[in-house]
Amino acid sequence: MNLEELSKMYDFTGKSVMLTGGAGVLAGELGCALFGCNANIAIVDRDPALAEPLMKRIEPVGDRAIVVYGDVLDPKIMQNATEQVIKAFGKIDILVNAAGGNNPKATTSATSTFFDLPPDAIKFVSDLNLLGTIIPSQIVGKHMAERKEGVILNISSMNAFRPLTRIAAYSAAKAAVSNFTQWLAVYMAQEISPNIRVNAVAPGFFLTNQNRYLLTDKETGKLTERGKKIIDHTPMGRFGDPEDLFGTVMWLLSPASKFVTGIVVPVDGGFSAYSGV
């Protein structure tokens, strides 16, 4: 194999990618990167207006990028979103399950202990992350099963490897996403087709809209106490940039990883490898 042949593996011309939670910081950057690699992209989000800045970045989009309303917890809405993407692009080759998040009510604090966490808040976090991965995988996965090929990429978390303090529900939910990734990979390969692969990435600590002011001070930009602890336990000594995900994600989505399924890859600056001493 020469450089030209290897480079072609990362040319996604003719491939159609559906990203749930696609207007989020990390998913949005992945969508732009895939668009830049010639893929058709469908940004699926509960708030399509959030995708407007992304669409402006990739103008003129022609017919290679669309924004679709979707709710990963509602099968009917996700079925409709999937049908819209297939109508626009003819097929879905790749599903990136990036919808997820936490809820402050499911987080312990000085005034709210684990014993105080309301079940409905825990359920919200569990449903958003786990069911929000399973339901799109069922709907889009059925389309892939009919075609006997496809790639599903789930977004797990460093919390699945090393559960963090305070966020019990989120850590447990992301651990479930990692487990589900392995289960679905085996199911698809054995029961449907070995040409359907399922993997996940587990990002370490990236500054996003959800955690920015938990890790950095809004006024000064300096690290909070929690942010400092994270950096102190990250051998590379920094938070991740969205671009740091590109290499791993592109590899897992491309033919370069055609014999890889059922893995969860940490992209964490060494956090998961460091014991603290």
CA gap 264, 34 in Å, rounded = 20
pTM over the 0.85 mark:
yes
pLDDT tens sequence across 89-111: 999 999 999 999 999 999 999 99
- The residues annotated as belonging to the active site are 170
Can you list the alpha helix ranges (DSSP code H) found in the chain? 3-8, 25-36, 52-57, 75-89, 119-126, 132-147, 158-161, 168-187, 212-215, 225-232, 246-253
In a 3-state reduction of DSSP, which class is residue 48? helix
Helix, strand, coil content of the chain in percent (nearest 5): 50, 15, 35
Domains of the chain: 3-204+249-266 (3.40.50.720)
CA angle 4, 261, 126 (to 5 degrees): 125
Tell me how crowded residue 3 is: count the other CB atoms within 10 A of its CB: 7
Lowest-confidence segment of 75-79, 87-91, 107-111, 145-149 by average pLDDT: 107-111
What share of the chain has pLDDT > 90, as a percent?
Answer: 87
CA 253 and chain centroid, separation: 12
